[in-house]
Chains A and B, each alone.
Chain A
Amino acid sequence: MSSIVQQDPQLLEQNPPLVKGGVDYHDLSEKICSVVEPEVGQTPMKYWIVLAITASITLLLGAMLTYLVATGIGVWGNNKPVGWAWDITNFVFWIGIGHAGTLISAILFLFRQKWRTSINRSAEAMTLFAVMCAGIFPLFHTGRPWRAFYWLFPIPNTDINMWQNFRSPLIWDVFAVSTYFTVSLLFWFTGLVPDLATLRDRATTTIRQWVYGLLSLGWRGSARHWRHYEAAYLILAGISTPLVLSVHSVVSFDFATSVIPGWHTTIFPPYFVAGAIFSGFACVMTLLLIARWSLNLQDLITIKHLENMNKIILVTGSIVGYAYACEFFIAWYSGNIYERFTFLNRAFGPYWWAAWSMYTCNVFIPQLYWIKKMRTNLWVMFIISITTNIGMWFERFVIIATSLTRDFLPTSWGYFHPTWVDMCTFLGTIGLFLTLFLLFARFLPMIAISEVKHVRSYEKHAFKPGPLGAPAGKVH
């Protein structure tokens, strides 16, 4: 296959190299480490300005949460009939964003998709930060987060002297989300160790030698390390794959096991998982486009990587669109008057604006990606990555708010209004997410150095002009 690629310019056009030509192993170390290595004082001013803004927004989050704990959860807009509002919307939104990281690091790894190597590290970091943001909402919705530990986890205690109800999907959610965070963290750190060793070996200051030295655990790249490492990576990828599919399925059970019209459907688990991957890829796209531009990573994050991600956005966006259509069909076909009313109310009721924002952003706009020119245009993909996340936030809001505002009894109908605390808390989590991501990009290698070198070693043969020396690696 490789020899065909190097001889046929048309095939080379279709399968361009993942690491642009002429880059050697040492150049890759230089390129990726050069972002992390300058002294803190030499960091560009624009980095500090952006960090100052996002850190200030994070402080706003701290202020809002303090206010909430000091006053009570009445400062949020949750009330009859909408008892679950922005907090659960934001929770599902952030958990969903996290899914792209695990998909890229685990599922694409099992499918041997080599293009994942340039983007997996930052996507995994994004997963961790998104799950942290997600966890804030249910934790603070308890009102007393320091006691929530006993309420959420099965720990013997004298605080409440009772146990969780394992028949409830809410406790399943606790297990799913906390496992998801732990496994993502371990997976991410395992992948980081060889790269931390590279940073350790290049370190010039004592503090860097100590910090990277301790974090890299004494890794020396021995063949006896790599065999365990590769086996472990495969196992972690293998168990993360069903895990990532289970997490959003379990999140959707919170809704699907209830009897509320619009929630009580069996399509929810696959529909939620597709939506999660859709929004997660869009978020990875936003962050990568900014990183690629500001850190000059065009040789490593090529148009081909971005185009492949856009194809996944198109596929998952279309699955989401299919799920919307399916919900409407079942609402009509079931003959259940409450179900029918809920969906008519969703599209044409008081929340029509939210519903149509969601249809437009999630279903119609991504269809532009059928056109190759659109898939490969940086501005188009930047805008679509943002509209997608706006659309996916609205999806969760629409599902939650429209079903709760108008259920079985018209006397108990209502309308949900968020408070300023709701809005500032959500804004604050965006600040926290961006702050953590900026710190990550500055102090840890954003691209998996050892994995990109591995891909480079394959491509050296596949794209070398002239006769092949050593047995060639596969292109894909």
Chain B
Amino acid sequence: MAHEETAGLSAPTPLDLLKEKVGLGPDKVYAVMGDFAEPEQLVEAGRKVRSLGYTKLDAMSPFPVHGIDEALGIPRSKIGWIVIFAAVLGILTAQVLIYYVGVINYPLVIGGKPLFDFTFTIPPTFELTVLFSSICTFLFTWVLSGLPRLYHPSLNYKKALAASDDRFILVIESDDPKFDPQQTAADLAGVGAENVEVVEG
């Protein structure tokens, strides 16, 4: 076992530490997983499993299944709150840029028009607000999801690849306080999951 081997050495290598951190290795159990044919079955099973007292739940599906967040107790995404800051930053950037360029660094009188006025800053300000918000939305969609990543223990499940095709997978993770491989697998089969499997990390 990886643990015992590293325990004999003076210090674990960085690779061992990394493996430990991301929960990799033959001695690790990632979760118990099982799958369903229809999204409604997944939501129903998720609700039942949660009522059994499990809290560390996840699901994998080919499209967003509505109601799964409530069934598994997954909170709403906070991404909107992050994007508001990017939007405000966009507004400020445009205003400061146009003021600095037109009034401070390169004042140029054209037809007696004012060097700075709120009205003519509206189009660039709007565009920069949209630009900053969309870039922020894009980046944080992946950052908050823990992506990009090259590996995930759920891939060890035999039906993992079907989650992008036609199967709806329910996951009970091993860091759940109530987790016990045999009992959890039995519980998952009990709510109607097929292909129930204890998946190694």
Assess whether B85 is interfacial by the CB under 8 Å rule.
no
Pairwise interchain contact B102-A166, C-beta atoms closer than 8 A = yes
Interface residues contributed by chain A, number (CB under 8 Å)? 65
Question: Which residues 342-377 of A have a CB within 8 angstroms of B?
Answer: none
Assess whether A303 is interfacial by the CB under 8 Å rule.
no
Question: Which residues 34-93 of B have a CB within 8 angstroms of A?
Answer: 38-40, 58-65, 68-69, 72, 74, 76-77, 79-80, 83
Q: Contacting B133 at CB < 8 Å: which of A194, A226, A235?
A: A235
Question: Which residues 156-177 of B have a CB within 8 angstroms of A?
Answer: 160-166
Q: Contacting A235 at CB < 8 Å: which of B79, B105, B110?
A: B79
Q: Contacting A223 at CB < 8 Å: which of B74, B133, B138?
A: B74
Most buried by B among A194, A202, A232, A471: A232
Pairwise interchain contact A227-B124, C-beta atoms closer than 8 A = no
A164 to B97, CA, bound (A): 11
Assess whether B21 is interfacial by the CB under 8 Å rule.
no
* Residues of the B chain whose Cβ atoms lie less than 8 Å from the Cβ of A242: 126, 130
Pairwise interchain contact B101-A225, C-beta atoms closer than 8 A = no
- Chain B residue with minimal CB distance to A180? B127
Q: Contacting A219 at CB < 8 Å: which of B101, B110, B134, B147?
A: B147
- Chain B residue with minimal CB distance to A176? B127
Pairwise interchain contact B64-A179, C-beta atoms closer than 8 A = no
* Residues of the B chain whose Cβ atoms lie less than 8 Å from the Cβ of A21: none
Assess whether A239 is interfacial by the CB under 8 Å rule.
yes
Assess whether B154 is interfacial by the CB under 8 Å rule.
yes
Q: Chain A's nearest CB lies how many Å from the CB of B84? A: 10
* Residues of the A chain whose Cβ atoms lie less than 8 Å from the Cβ of B106: 162-163
- Given A163-B105, A227-B69, A235-B83: A453 and B121 within 8 A (CB)? no
Pairwise interchain contact B133-A175, C-beta atoms closer than 8 A = no
Pairwise interchain contact A246-B126, C-beta atoms closer than 8 A = yes
Q: How large is the interface on B (under 10, 10 to 19, 20 to 34, 35 or more residues)?
A: 35 or more
* Residues of the A chain whose Cβ atoms lie less than 8 Å from the Cβ of B133: 235, 239
A200 to B80, CA, bound (A): 30
Pairwise interchain contact B98-A166, C-beta atoms closer than 8 A = yes
Q: Contacting A239 at CB < 8 Å: which of B63, B134, B148?
A: B134
Q: Contacting B123 at CB < 8 Å: which of A218, A246, A453?
A: A246
Q: Chain A's nearest CB lies how many Å from the CB of B141? A: 4
* Residues of the B chain whose Cβ atoms lie less than 8 Å from the Cβ of A217: 142, 147-149
Pairwise interchain contact A457-B39, C-beta atoms closer than 8 A = yes
Q: Contacting B59 at CB < 8 Å: which of A166, A223, A239, A253?
A: A223
Q: Mark A202-224, 1 if CB is under 8 A from B, else 0.
A: 10000000000110011111111
Pairwise interchain contact B166-A25, C-beta atoms closer than 8 A = yes
* Residues of the B chain whose Cβ atoms lie less than 8 Å from the Cβ of A25: 62, 165-166
A229 to B146, CA, bound (A): 12
Give the contact stretch, choosing among A68-76, A183-191, A323-331, A390-398. A183-191
Q: Chain A's nearest CB lies how many Å from the CB of B173? A: 11
Pairwise interchain contact A232-B147, C-beta atoms closer than 8 A = no
Pairwise interchain contact A179-B120, C-beta atoms closer than 8 A = no
Pairwise interchain contact B145-A229, C-beta atoms closer than 8 A = yes
* Residues of the B chain whose Cβ atoms lie less than 8 Å from the Cβ of A227: 64, 69, 74, 76-77
- Given A167-B120, A231-B79: A197 and B141 within 8 A (CB)? no
- Given A218-B149, A236-B134: A154 and B144 within 8 A (CB)? no
Q: Contacting B63 at CB < 8 Å: which of A171, A187, A246, A451?
A: A451
Pairwise interchain contact B128-A197, C-beta atoms closer than 8 A = no
Assess whether A182 is interfacial by the CB under 8 Å rule.
yes
Pairwise interchain contact B62-A453, C-beta atoms closer than 8 A = yes
- Given A231-B77, A451-B63: A179 and B131 within 8 A (CB)? yes
- Mark B residues whose CB is within 8 Å of A: 38-40, 58-65, 68-69, 72, 74, 76-77, 79-80, 83, 97-98, 101-102, 105-106, 108, 110, 113, 120-121, 123-124, 126-128, 130-131, 133-135, 137-138, 140-142, 144-152, 154-155, 160-166
- Mark A residues whose CB is within 8 Å of B: 24-26, 29, 154, 162-167, 169, 171-172, 175-176, 179, 182-183, 186-187, 189-190, 194, 197-198, 200-202, 213-214, 217-232, 235-236, 239-240, 242-243, 246, 250, 253, 449-451, 453-454, 457, 469-471
Contacts A29-B165, A220-B60 supplied; 19 other A-B pairs, CB < 8 Å: A25-B62, A166-B98, A179-B131, A198-B62, A198-B165, A201-B165, A217-B148, A220-B160, A222-B154, A223-B65, A223-B68, A224-B146, A225-B147, A230-B64, A230-B77, A232-B77, A239-B133, A253-B123, A450-B63
For the complex of A and B, the 6 pairs showing the least CB-CB separation, nearest first, are: A25-B166, A217-B148, A231-B77, A172-B123, A232-B141, A201-B161
